[in-house]
Amino acid sequence: MTYLDTQAPIRRLWPAVVAGIALLFASALSVGGVHVFGAFARFGFFPLVVLAIWPRQANTLLSIAFLFFAGIFTDWATASIIGQWALVYLVIWGVLRPELRGSPFAPVSLFLFWLATCGLAVVLLSVTGWFVYGVLPDFGSFGRQMLVATLILPVLGVMRGVISRRFSDSEDWER
């Protein structure tokens, strides 16, 4: 993986809009979940999958706006602390900085970055939750959410590749 620092590639609006809508959709779905082996696993980490495959060519300012409002939307939809998910999305995007990557993630790198994303989200959610409620979170719940989201990661990754190849003629959609 290489990072660009001197080139000035064109930032496109369209990938940012599509990625933002996908993030809002994933945020809405994060209220739902599935019962697996007697435990309930929520789709709470689905929006993080969208963050992990955020287009490199997406306009950065529009991306930040979408991340903030999708985060607030998630907080409203899941009745959690207002600002918590917005902070998680923004910090993770700030760490990943997809627009600075020179080439798409290889599958192994994507998986490693995904694990780092989940780890960072767990730390941020735990710290903010502890700050507001004064208690530590249910780490089992985090584990179940991570597991379900990890299963969906390759599916969404492949879907994203197919859509980008079919509907786009350029490298706008490169991971």
Partner 1 sequence: MRHGEHPNSGWTRIALSLAIIVSCLLISFNRGAMREASKLEMATQEGVSPLVGALSGPIRNVENFFSSFAERARAFEENAQLRSELVTLRDRQARYENLAIKVARYEAILGVDTETDVPLKKIAARAVGEVDGPFVRSLLLNVGAKDGVAIGNPVMSVDGLVGHVINVGPRSARVLRLSDLNSRIAVASARSEATAILAGDNSPRPKLDFINQAENWAEGDRVISSGDDGALPRGLAVGVVMIDETGAMRVDLSSASAATDWVWVSPYKPIEPPAEDEVTP
User: What is the footprint of partner 1 within residues 67-96 (CB under 8 A)?
Assistant: 67-68, 71-73, 76-84, 86-87, 90-91, 93-94
Q: Which one-letter amino acid corresponds to residue 87? A: L
19 near partner 1, rule: CB under 8 A:
no
Q: Which is nearer to partner 1, 109 or 141 (CB)?
A: 141
Q: Which residues, numbered 95-134, are part of the site for partner 1 (CB under 8 A)?
A: 97, 99-100, 125-126, 128-129, 131-133
The DSSP code sequence of the chain is --B-SS--PPPBHHHHHHHHHHHHHHHHHTT-EEEETTEEEE-TTHHHHHHHT--TTB-HHHHHHHHHHHHHHHHHHHT--TTHHHHHHHHHHHHH-GGGBSSPPPHHHHHHHHHHHHHHHHHHHHHHHHHHHSS---HHHHHHHHHHHHHHHHHHHHHHHHHHHHH-SSGGG--
Q: Judged by CB under 8 A, which stretch of 54-62, 104-112, 148-156, 165-173 contacts partner 1?
A: 54-62
Among 20, 59, 149, 160, binds partner 1 (CB under 8 A): 59
Residues at the site binding partner 1, with contacts judged by CB under 8 A? 4-5, 8-13, 28-29, 31-35, 40, 42, 44, 59-62, 64-65, 67-68, 71-73, 76-84, 86-87, 90-91, 93-94, 97, 99-100, 125-126, 128-129, 131-133, 135, 137-139, 141-142, 145
